[in-house]
Amino acid sequence: MNIRRTFIKSTRATLALFLTGIIVSGGSTAALAVDYVPISGAGSSWSANAIDQWRRNVKQYGMSVNYASTGSVDGRNQFKGGTVDYGVSETPYGLTDNGVLDELPARPFVYVPIVAGGTSFMYNITSGGNPITNLRLSGDVVTKMFTGVITKWNDPLIAADNPGLTLPDRAVVPVVRSDGSGSTAQFTLWMATKYKSLWDSYCAKVGRNECGQTSFFPTTAGMVAQPNSQGVSGYVAQKANEGTITYVEYSYALKTGFPVAKILNDAGYYVEPTASNVAVGLLGAKINQDKTSKMYLTQELGGVYNNKDARAYPLSSYSYMIVPTTEQSAFTTAKGATLSAFANYFLCEGQQQAEVLGYSPLPVNLVKVGLEQVAKIPGADPSTINIAKCNNPTFSASGENTLAKNAPMPDPCDKKGAEQCTAGTGGAAATSTGGVVGETTGTDTTGATGTGTTGGMLGGTMGTGPTQCDADTGTCSNIKAVPVATTSLGWAATNWIILSVIIVLVLVVVVPPVLVTYAARKVRSS
């Protein structure tokens, strides 16, 4: 059975590899490297962008780390089944999902926090032919969009969040995960905590009683379900799929070049899941500090959802690696040495890259306890790590979270009710929406794109609403209306032409052979 399972897994692993566009090439291995053995893991696609970057980085040390981003549920199950050396998941074992208890694995394990990040809402919507990149949404509006209450983009509730935007009369198409996913679990936990009645009534409507936190999004008509973070973000990123919105880690929006919605926090500001906003948000997280607990280091996010800081992103969370603490099934000390070296790398140096990738680095306390956990892996060598040399952007001498402390306050235009910021978000940071040019919120530190696509507006004041700029002259003008071709219903002349063309085509093919056969028969009989 394990062989069959591994076979299907390997197919899916190939898929994941292709999707993320990462094919780790064999190649330069450092000569001085310790003898590392290949290790493999599976799980969360939420954190896959970070893990993939890290495993490419450690290739230079001669480490061959494989990872299949097949979803958190699959990662937990594969770790439980012993088919992988490590799993990655946003949610711990022991939760009851849709009436099924996810039992703890028999092999001893610990959780290691790997990275923080924000579950963002990536969308694809245009107005007057120009992409909208500065959408803002409050929590209940997001919940209503994903539970079929709000079905049109021009809904007054969305308009109330976006005084500066004129949204089209298009259907809202929520794109959800079809596989068992940690992103879904994080999103549904937030909905079930903050907007319980909305979420419960939706669950009842689709025939699942009180879903609460679930890894399997219950779908209904009008929704699109796709496997993997790559699948949902890839679907939204298809130009033609206008009106779609999905929940996915911020890095996927950066990677695909699409904007994310700024979400209203409890301080009344709409914020983007940038590294610093996530770091501030997670100051409210409660980490399980009971070392004897099976849930040691797992997160409790109620304080993040209700964080009163103006800079806090409410859907921030940590992701975890599940690592074994004993030699078991195929897990040997040699593998443990590789796994712990890899974990030491990403807990220390790897965190520097979190921000660029669209995640947020771990604070020092979690790095410390994370390293302690890693030391429990058989074959681990903790002596190599000097935590002072990690250059983690959150570290400081005083122990304060530097990244959170220095996080910029949100722009006044991000305050609820105020005039809306026009600067783009996420992967579309360089594309502003509306008339104002060159405004920077200072929140985008990702460096995903340069400046300049918006520049070059010459004089004149623009009103609100969509504008169109000539690429050559840089002259912009307001668009009052966009002409669209409507198609008539019913049987018009074109329909008859099409039908007759088809009939003629069929006749051309069928008639000659029939005639010939008939003629031949006549000749023969006469």
Told to check if 511 binds other proteins by CB under 8 A, we report no
Told to check if 3 binds other proteins by CB under 8 A, we report no
CA dist 282 and 302 (Å) reads 10
Q: How far is the CB of 426 from other proteins (least distance, A)?
A: 20
Kindly tell me which of 182 and 426 has the beta carbon lying closer to other proteins.
182
Kindly tell me which of 498 and 507 has the beta carbon lying closer to other proteins.
498
> Site for other proteins (CB under 8 A): which residue of 225, 287, 295, 462?
225
Q: Residue 188, CB half-sphere, CA atoms under 13 Å: how many?
A: 26
Q: Which of residues 70-89 bind other proteins (CB under 8 A)?
A: 70-71, 73-74, 77-78
Give the closest residue to 90 by CA, choosing from 338, 301, 275.
301
Q: Which stretch binds other proteins (CB under 8 A): 165-173, 308-316, 360-368, 455-463?
A: 165-173
Q: How far is the CB of 31 from other proteins (least distance, A)?
A: 34
Told to check if 185 binds other proteins by CB under 8 A, we report no
Give the closest residue to 343 by CA, choosing from 51, 67, 32.
51
Told to check if 222 binds other proteins by CB under 8 A, we report yes
Give the closest residue to 280 by CA, choosing from 252, 303, 255, 254.
303
> Site for other proteins (CB under 8 A): which residue of 219, 353, 365, 396?
219
Q: Which stretch binds other proteins (CB under 8 A): 13-21, 108-116, 288-296, 410-418?
A: 13-21
Please, which residues have CB within 8 angstroms of residue 77's CB and are 6 or more apart in sequence?
none
Q: How far is the CB of 484 from other proteins (least distance, A)?
A: 4
What is the total count of residues that contact other proteins (CB under 8 A)? 55
**Are the beta carbons of 408 and 442 closer than 8 angstroms?**
yes
Please, which residues have CB within 8 angstroms of residue 108's CB and are 6 or more apart in sequence?
324, 325, 326, 328
**Helix (H/G/I), strand (E/B), else coil: 213:** coil
Told to check if 484 binds other proteins by CB under 8 A, we report yes
Told to check if 273 binds other proteins by CB under 8 A, we report no
CA dist 82 and 5 (Å) reads 11
Told to check if 374 binds other proteins by CB under 8 A, we report no
**Which residues of this chain interact with other proteins, rule CB under 8 A?**
5, 8-9, 11-12, 14-15, 18-19, 42, 70-71, 73-74, 77-78, 98-100, 168-171, 173, 178-180, 215, 219, 221-227, 231, 234-235, 238-244, 484-489, 495, 498, 513
